[in-house]
Structure 1
Amino acid sequence: MARLFQITGPVLDLVYKVMALPASGEEAVVTGFSMAAGGGFNAMVAARRAGMEVVLAGSLGTGPFATVVAQELARHDITLARAPVRQADQGCCVVLIEPDGERSFIASPGAEGRISAADLAAVSVGQGDWLLLSGYTLAYPGAAGAVSDWIAALPSGVSVLFDPSPVAAQIPVAVLAPVLKRADWISANQAEAAVLFPGLPPARLGDALAAGRQGAVLRLGARGATLIRNERSVTVPAYAVAAVDTNGAGDTHIGSFIARISLTGDPLAALHYANIAAALSTTLEGPATAPNSAEVLEHLNHTNPREPLNGSFHG
């Protein structure tokens, strides 16, 4: 069975529910707080709950933050491709959640920002496996060069999906170019796609993402997502939900898409699945709220995008 190797390491999310983002020099009104594994963790959980074996190939540190993350990885049966990094704790991310579910981030990297060529030499990927890489890792000076070189040298039997992430503009061109050339798939929102292909009109971004690769997914938020493949595009509408927390929805979409395309070989079916999984993930508070496959498949068989999804969560 194919495995998903996640190169972008998890972080510890410090999640604050706020009435509104504070102005400079002011304090936010906080209505709730929680602490949970996030970052690269979210997509791994989504793929795992969709039925795929998942391996963390990114860096896990040692320390109080890393201990929380390690416990969560074990709880979801996500294994490690290599030993934890000594003398470096996991990074953290402050997540500010507004009443409408929108989120803002303030992050500081830790062990996940350090990956060497020797580290990657210990990662054993095989024919049929998938590799997921976020732009966050390519923005880390302590990881970017080694990861970019390693991705470029992967054999063709390994499928690579690249998620540019909100920091795409910060990735050096010399690091980004080999990854874009090697990536079999790209999953990006419109803002990220515009960074990768500046100056292109929105209507042409999808084609640019998919050019020279197996395909691409252009995520459109509340409007759904578009699959672009073989010079054709199909837009699957978003499913209606009462969102309370959008943190991790994009990661849920990506992890779910990879798992389902790996299991079924059908990119369009995988996109339908990912749209439902991402929508359901926003109905609960927390960063790693991807539903399990039974719930998604039940909705997939009995709903259409214009009907609200009303299901219980079985994470």
Structure 2
Amino acid sequence: MTRMVQLSGVIMDHVYRVHSVPAPGGEAVVRSAYLAPGGGFNAMVAARRMGMDVAYGGSLGSGAFADRIATALTGEGITLLRPRLPGLDQGCCTVLIDDKGERSFIASEGADGVVTDADLAALPLGEDDWLMLSGYALLYPGSRDALTRWLFLQPGRLVFDPCPQVAQIGPDALQAALHAAHWISANRTEAQVLTGHHDPATAAEALAGRPGGAVLRDGANGAWLALPGRTARHIPPHPVRPVDTNGAGDTHVGAFVAALASGHAPATACRLANIAAALSTTKEGPATAPPLADVLAIAASHPIPMQQEA
């Protein structure tokens, strides 16, 4: 059975909506706030709501945050593949969202940043699994080295999302992830860091030298899809009026993988992911990925001519 296995840690987001992010030494009045699972959680939820089986292969600790995350995973029908780590709670991230929808982050790892060689060797992975990995897992000293060694062993069908701090990933770890990745899904800034190209089509093409290809997510501008040896194609956005962009990129990655796994061609999968990510921004709060029926309904009512793909 095809499933997504998330290897990146789930953390607890502390989300605050403010008019503007304060300057150093300043202060902001919070208009609304909530606690919700974040990190690797949103991609899993997106894939699950698109109809894909999902399992969590990352670390989950013990404590108030970890308990809340475990409940959320179970509530979404996501299977836990590893025993929980005793004595260490899950990490957290403070997220500030201003009136323009721009986000600022301050993160601290916990159990999510601890992964050993034995943990990875014990994962019950199947040949049909789609493996998800974020660059965040390659930043933490407690998970970086084991993951780097494991990635060089060609673990399977891997989708790599570099993360905004990709420039801080060590060269060995980054090389391992790029070597193992069947697909890369990066936002425009991350793709520029990885390739040195400002033009999104050129950057996507530079990332596409792998078995699957590359997706360059460009926010309200849609996405660029590049397949090996092919010219990058612009996949148009689904226009919405966003109210909360937190987790939209993760929703895109999860929806794209689910659509690919269900048999859609890459261009169609990317179009469906654009719709899912756009819809996720129209609601405030956690885990706003839409159900498959909503995505398909919009795709059917707003058809975009697609070229035939090999």
- TM-score range relative to shorter protein: over 0.9
In structure 2, the partner of 1:253 is 252
Q: How does 1:104-183 map to 2 (within 5 A)?
A: 104-155=104-155, 158-183=156-181
Matched to 1:161, the amino acid is V
How much has 1:264 moved relative to structure 2? 1.3
CA drift of 1:119 comes to 0.8
1:188 Cα offset (Å):
0.5
Q: Give, in whole Å, the separation in 1 of the partners of 2:159 and 2:264.
A: 15
Structure 2 vs 1, CA of residues 167 and 220 (structure 1 numbering), >3 Å: closer, same or farther? same
Q: Which residue of 1 aligns with 2:16?
A: 16
CA distance in 2, matches of 1:199, 1:250: 20
Return the TM-score normalized by structure 1: 0.93
Deviation at residue 199 of structure 1 after TM alignment: 5.8
Alignment length (residue pairs): 303
Q: 2:208 matched to 1:237?
A: no
**Residues 199/258 of structure 1: CA separation in 2 closer, same or farther (3 Å cut):** closer
Bigger CA drift: 55-64 or 199-208? 199-208
Could you tell me how far apart the structure 2 residues matched to 1:232 and 1:108 are? 40
Counterpart position of 1:54: 54
Residue equivalent to 1:214: 212
Rounded Cα–Cα distance in structure 1 between residues aligned with 2:158 and 2:239 = 30
For structure 2, which runs of at least 5 residues remain unmatched after alignment? 305-310
Please say which of residues 88-97 and 211-220 is displaced more in the overlay: 211-220
Residue type at the aligned position of 1:281: S
1:232 aligned counterpart, secondary structure: coil
CA-based RMSD of the aligned residues comes to 1.3
Deviation at 1:212, TM superposition (A): 3.3
Match of 2:308 in 1: none
Q: Which sits farther off after the overlay, 249-258 or 230-239?
A: 230-239
The letter for the 1-side match of 2:87 is: Q
**Percent identical:** 51
- 197-206 or 181-190, larger mean C-alpha shift: 197-206
After superposition, the Cα gap between the structure-2 partners of 1:291 and 1:141, relative to the gap in structure 1 and judged at 3 Å, is: same
Deviation digits for residues 40-95 of structure 1 (CA, Å, limit 9, x no counterpart): 00000000000111111110110001111011001001011110111110001101
Aligned pair 1:295/2:288, yes or no?
Answer: no
Kept in 2, the 8 Å contact 1:81–1:122? The answer is: no
Say yes or no: does 1:226 pair with 2:224: yes
> Normalising by the residue count of structure 2, what TM-score does the alignment of the two structures yield?
0.95
Q: In 2, Cα distance between the equivalents of 1:94 and 1:113?
A: 17
Q: For structure 1, which runs of at least 5 residues remain unmatched after alignment?
A: 306-315
| Residue type of the alignment partner of 1:252 | T
